[in-house]
Amino acid sequence: MKTLFKLAAGAATVVVAIAGTTLPADALTVAQNKAAQTRLNKLGCYAGPVDGKIGQMSQAATIRFQAANRMTQNGSLGGTTYGRLMAASAKRCDVRAVPAGSGGGRRIVISQGQNWLWVIDAKGKVVRQGGIIDNPSYLRPGTYSTGSKCGRAARVKRNTDGGKLYLNNFVRFAPCGIGFHQIPTYRSNGAQIHGDWLLGTNKKASHGCIRVQKSMSDTIWAFTTVTTKVVVLR
C-alpha cells in the first residue's frame, strides 16, 4: 500500500480498459479524466473539482475507490481501474459492507487494509462508517476494548501530543497511547494538520492512533460512554 500515483511510469505496459479496447494509461484525455472525477464523486469517493487534472484529491479518491472495490490501492487510473470505475457494477466508496470475521454485537470495526471503520450498534446496525488514517506498524489485528490503559485516562476531550497539537475527542482502546481522535489540530490556530480528503487512504500515517474527521470523532465519543469492543482486522 505504499506505492502512490505513478500514472506515467511504465506507460508502455500500463493499460486502461475502455469499451473493450486498451489504451496506455497516459493516453487518457482531459474529457476522460473529467468523466472519472464525475464518476468518483457520484460514488461518494470525493474527488473534488471536476477539472480534468488528476491531482492529490483525485488520487486519494481513486485509492478509496480501489479499496472499496478490492483492488490494488495505488491511486492510479491505469490498469483496470478506469474500466471498473465506469462499469455499472462499481461499488460506492462511502457505503461498505462490514468485513467478515469481525464478530457480532455492539462494536467498532477497523479495517487496516481498507483504511476504514464501522460503528455498529447492539442490533448489528451500522450507525456510521468512514475513512481513517492509521499506522498498522503500531497496531496489531485483534480485539480490544475502550478504557483506561497503563494508568492513563480512557477519554480525554482535548488531549495533546505533548507539543503543538491537540488530539480532540481522544478515546483510548489499546495500550498504552493508542486511541481514536479527530485529525490533529494545531494548538496555535485550530487548523487540522491535513484535510479530511486524505482519510481512507495510505497517503498519510499516524503514530498508531486512528485519525477520523471531526464529526466521526463526535460519533465515537458519544458511542463510547460505556466500554466498547474494538475489532481490528488487517
Domain ranges for the chain: 15-86, 107-233
The residue length of the chain stands at: 234
Architecture of domain 107-233: Beta Barrel (2.40)
> Which positions of the chain have pLDDT values less than 70?
1-27
Domain 15-86 has CATH 1.10.101: yes
pLDDT at 26: 63
Q: Which of 86, 69, 76 is nearest to 17 (CA)?
A: 86
AA letter at 73? Q
pLDDT at 160: 95
Count Cβ atoms within 10 A of the Cβ of residue 26 and give its class: 0-12 exposed, 13-18 middle, 19 or more buried. Answer: middle
Mean pLDDT of the chain: 90
pLDDT at 21: 42
